[in-house]
Structure 1
Amino acid sequence: MANTESALKDVMSSIDGAIGVALVDYNSGMALGTLGGSAELDLNVAAAGNTDVVRAKVRAIELLNLKEAIEDILISLNTQYHLIRPLTGRSGKGLFLYLALDRSRANLAMARHQLKRIEADLEV
């Protein structure tokens, strides 16, 4: 089991094209940990903004009476991919991993696979 700091380091070192990653509490919108980012990508602002995305999708699933859980949410930008992966473990309830990728260097399928692996090992 990995703690938050080692999981974030694992994301940045094992996923090609990673720009930044955050572990976010979607009840408060606060980042519990961040690594990477840039002048153009403030991970704390991204954490708060993507909290609204997760809340909206959870609400839509409830309104549709779907018996489904979100595996991940993908946002494709011109030069970046943004992946949001809610934690599924008991200790991760109400948390999600947010990953920003450089689209020119990232392999989206591998990034999703690696993020799933890291999420499974994360102990919060």
Structure 2
Amino acid sequence: MTNIDVVLKDMMAIDGASGAALVDYNSGMALGMLGSSKSLDLQVASAGNTEVVRAKMRTMEQLNIKDDIEDILITLTGQYHIIRPVSGRKGKGLFLYLALDRNRANLALARHQLKRIEEIVEV
């Protein structure tokens, strides 16, 4: 099992997870995807969230903000979408994307678990 497979499996083990992807935001391509929801197209989500990450990074650069992005949270009425850029040289240019069912997920715990998972990403 590759590291990407382990990362995706760990992400899907988070309570309420309905879709997970590891995405290269330079190309917008998903390196791996895993999901249990037929209504969530992870290819489209990966490409679309690439634009979200790029826009936020451009804005931070224009504002001369030197902090790193921990995560980006998109809250929908029925879902949470978490985008977590991977830090460290082994994951530079990548982000984790996790879609959660809002009724089954614990957002604080999911963010904590995603941070732990980010630390094992190797590509």
Contact 1:83 1:98 in 2 (8 A): yes
Q: Tell me by how many angstroms 1:95 deviates.
A: 0.4
Normalising to structure 1: TM-score of the pair?
0.95
In structure 1, what is the Cα distance between the partners aligned to 2:112 and 2:71? Answer: 11
Residue in structure 2 matched with residue 99 of structure 1 by the alignment: 98
Q: Judge which range, 97-106 or 2-11, deviates more.
A: 2-11
Give matches, 1:4-83, under 5 Å. Answer: 4-13=4-13, 15-83=14-82
Runs of 4+ residues over 2 Å off in structure 1: none
Q: Tell me by how many angstroms 1:37 deviates.
A: 4.4
In structure 2, what is the Cα distance between the partners aligned to 1:37 and 1:90? Answer: 30
Q: Deviations over 1:20-76 (max 9, x none)?
A: 100000011110000014221000100000000000000000000011110000000
* % identical aligned pairs: 71
In structure 2, what is the Cα distance between the partners aligned to 1:89 and 1:63? Answer: 23
| Letter matched to residue 6 of structure 1 | V
In structure 2, what is the Cα distance between the partners aligned to 1:82 and 1:37? Answer: 15
Give the total of aligned pairs. Answer: 122
Q: Structure 2: where are the runs of 5+ without partners?
A: none
| Letter matched to residue 123 of structure 1 | E
Q: Structure 1: where are the runs of 5+ without partners?
A: none
